Amino acid sequence: MQQFNIRVYGLLINDKRQVLVSDEQIRDFRFTKFPGGGLEFGEGLIDALRREFMEELGIEAEVGELFYLTEFFQQSAFHPKHQVISVYYRVSVSDWTQIAVQDQPVFQPGKENHRWIAVSQLSSEDLDFPIDRVVAEKLRSVE
C-alpha cells in the first residue's frame, strides 16, 4: 500500500550562527539530518516537533515560523512505498548550551548524537536526505 510519511524537523540556530544536526544509525544505515522525526497518530506538527526535541535532546523547544515544506516527490529511504512530506520550522530553546553535542559525527545504533555546524559553512553534503539538502541550501542563502 502506498502511504504518506509526514516528518517534522526543527532548525535550531545558536548565538554563534551554528545550526544543530543529528547523527543517527538505524541498522547499517548512518545518516545526518536535522533534529525531528515522524508524527504519531493524533499529533499535530507543533506537538510532534516539541515531543521530538524532548525525546532527542531532553529540552523544551519553542516552535517558531514555518521555514520549508517539501515541494517535490520524495520516496522514503526506508519504506519504498512511502512518500515523504517534510515540514521544517525554526525553533528556539531557553539555553542551547545545555544540549550535549559532539565535535565530530558519532554514529551509534539506537542513539542520536548532535553537533553544531556553522550555517555559513553548511553544505548539502553535510546532510544525507534530499529534502534536508534543499533546506540546507535555503538556510545558507537566508542566514
Q: What is the pLDDT of residues 47-84, one digit of tens each?
A: 999 999 999 999 999 999 999 999 998 888 888 899 99
What's the fold here for domain 3-142?
Nucleoside Triphosphate Pyrophosphohydrolase (3.90.79)
Q: pLDDT tens, 8-60?
A: 999 999 999 999 999 999 888 899 999 999 999 999 999 999 999 999 999 99
DSSP 143: -
- For residues 140 and 137, give the distance between their C-alpha atoms in angstroms, rounded to a whole number: 5
Q: pLDDT tens, 78-122?
A: 888 999 999 999 999 999 999 999 989 898 888 899 999 999 999
